[in-house]
Amino acid sequence: MKRHLSSILVLIVFISFLSSCASVYEKQRKEYDTLASSVSAASYAVIGEYGDTIPPDLDADQFMKVIENKIPSEYFKQLKRYSLDLKPKGTYYLLLVIDQDSKSIVLFDYSCTPEVDGLILLEPNKYDLNNIDSYDPCKTLHNFENGIAIYAVSNCLFLVENLYT
């Protein structure tokens, strides 16, 4: 009988431990999702402020000043919990969100896309942070848009040329 009671007690402690781990994970996941939403909202605010011309000297402090009253206060507070590093790239920027304790990047985002680009904590082995520019979707988008423009111009010239011959 004592053996069964101790087994049951061990099982109860184990189940309690597992449920507390799950609730900690859920809380961290919710905070991370809020962080990702905060970064997306901030991107819209900055693009609303500057359009397609991101100032070459835009830094994290200016970034926070621009977004302060343009995103929900919960999002602003969430961003203030982290160190930010902003790298202007002409028509867009790269935002690095850095954990203040570990000094490691937890998320990165190129502002040209509506969704956050690098959810590092969800997929830690997916990203090579030494080559973060290799994940830049804006280079591809910019090249694609230029290709369409060149194609459209060449087709118009072809049509005009054929119209007069």
Instruction: Please provide the average confidence, as pLDDT, over all residues in the chain.
Output: 79
pLDDT class for 44, splitting at 50, 70, 90? very high
The residue type found at 165 is T
Domain boundaries, the chain: 2-132
CB 128 within 8 A of CB 134: yes
Residue range 120-143, pLDDT digits in tens: 988 888 999 999 999 999 986 555
Q: Span 54-76, mean pLDDT?
A: 97
Q: Span 47-68, mean pLDDT?
A: 96
To the nearest 10°, report the CA torsion of 20, 123, 72, 88: 150
Predicted structure pTM score: 0.71
pLDDT class for 106, splitting at 50, 70, 90? very high
pLDDT class for 116, splitting at 50, 70, 90? very high
